[in-house]
Amino acid sequence: MSPSAAAAGTITVGGDLTVNRLGFGAMRITNGDGGVWGEPPDPDGARALLRRVVGLDVNFIDTADSYGPDVSELLIAEALHPYPKGLVIATKGGYLRDGPGPWRPDGRPAHLREACEGSLRRLRLERIDIYQLHTPDPAVPIEASVGALGELRAEGKIRHVGVSNVDAGQLARARAVVSVVSVQNRYSLTERRGDDVLDVCHRDGLAFIPWYPLARGALAQEESPLARIAARRGVTPAQIALAWLLRRSPVMLPIPGTSSPDHLEENVAAAEIELADDELAALDEFRAS
């Protein structure tokens, strides 16, 4: 039987967007080995991968205008438009890039408006389901940045507002200005510095979207509880790490990304793994050294 993201259960984001709780992060469908810069080596393969994503009941895809830049959004539209019913596409704005090197924050309202308009065109949408501030800009108060997203929502160009790479204080400031439905922060079994933000999301019913959810290098430790549980079950450590995330909180919406069809199937199969209480306890104590 083919794996299905539906096995992870569902989450309703913003009160009206119900999606399966294992999504897909579309950063690596670009030239992932080239600094997320430019087209992938095999664009046809990337489009086929996206169609397979949907075929596996993954109905939440996360992207950003900075992936490529523009490339990820364009590939999504080329592969999937007209979009199947129930597919939710979330994208982000707030980073500028001049090449495969550093990413520069730009949270100015004028830039965010321009970025949103560009995403609408590339994705061939009249309204973006979830539009996220990609990162706070130290030069711009976060209230001004999310205020611009609130204006775009009022104009019907955004359904819901999300934020990314925020601490608990920044999240509170953003929510004082606009209704926030999701937070996307770096988080994984081996990196849990965002526990305080996750706790707020769990308490208030905001979707928590962990980026870099597999932290693959850290998962490779031999003789760890993770490795032992994976070996005993005959699965990979990455699959156990995803299963742990899904168990960590009902608001968790992991978005593992890949350019490999085999890894995609492996990731989605993790939705079917149910961890026992003793396994969960061992993993809760696990940290990468």
103-158 pLDDT, tens digit per residue, is 999 999 999 999 999 999 999 999 999 999 999 999 999 999 999 999 999 999 99
Domain ranges for the chain: 10-218+244-275
Q: Taking a C-beta distance cutoff of 8 angstroms, is the pair 31, 20 a contact?
A: no
Q: Is pLDDT above 70 for 25?
A: yes
Confidence check: pLDDT of 264 > 50: yes
Note the CATH number of domain 10-218+244-275: 3.20.20.100
Pairing of strands 95-97, 24-25: unpaired
CA distance 124 to 3: 29
Model pTM score:
0.96
Candidates 67, 95, 131, 187; catalytic one: 67
- Nearest-angstrom CA–CA distance, 222 and 5: 28
Sheet with 88-93: strands ordered across = 24-25, 60-62, 88-93, 128-133, 158-164, 180-186, 207-211
* Comparison of pLDDT for 288 and 236, the residue scoring more: 236
Give the containing element (helix H, strand E) for 77. Answer: helix 71-80
What percentage of the chain carries pLDDT values higher than 70?
Answer: 96
Pick from 138, 137, 145, 141: nearest CA to 161 = 145
Active site residue 95: no
- Average pLDDT for 245-262: 96
DSSP 8-class letter at 34: G
